[in-house]
Amino acid sequence: MTNRKRGFEIAKGYEDKNINLPVRKTKYSSGYDIEAAEDIVIPSFQPGQKPTLVPTGLKAYCMEDEFYMLVNRSSGPKKGLVMANGVGIVDADYYGNESNDGHFFFQYYNVLDHDIEIKKGDAIGQVIFLKYLTVDNDIAEGTRTGGFGSTDKK
């Protein structure tokens, strides 16, 4: 048994797609740079439009008292890309879930007046791992039964 704490793996269905595992670019970077797993077009925003999900081909694992944040790159808004949820929060039990194996995506809107093309391998965001705290009288006992957006389903 290994003593794994946190890391990245290739998600099911992407094993043969030449997905690069994320790296930090400098010694003191907090975020791991994430690349797009495939070419995708993000259309110019129209009212009522749903965000475009950009696949990463990755899943990540972390300790039970940790989560990871999906955050935009600092250059994202300059390029017209705004994360639909501001910051994505991914819980430890998302890893390996039955719906999508824990494959995480970035949700983007394009605020420019023209479509934006993202190519496979383009840097699309960052992942930052963090610990979280609970209150004294925490009673959470639920178990995740799905993937993306599943914790608010009854």
User: pTM score, two decimals?
Assistant: 0.88
CB atoms closer than 10 angstroms to residue 73: 16
100-154 pLDDT, tens digit per residue, is: 999 999 999 999 999 999 999 999 999 999 999 999 998 888 775 655 554 545 4
54 in Cβ contact with 34 (< 8 Å): no
> In one letter, which amino acid is 65?
D
As a whole number, mean pLDDT of residues 29-34 equals: 97
Nearest to 129 by CA among 53, 63, 81, 39: 63
Alpha carbon of 77 to those of 51, 65, 140: distances in Å? 15, 31, 36
Alpha carbon of 139 to those of 15, 94, 134: distances in Å? 38, 19, 10
User: Using CA atoms, how far apart are residues 109 and 60, in angstroms rounded to an integer?
Assistant: 24
The pairing of strands 105-110 and 81-83 is: antiparallel
For 150, phi then psi, to 5°, come to -80, -20
Q: What is the set of domains in the chain, with CATH numbers?
A: 7-132 (2.70.40.10)
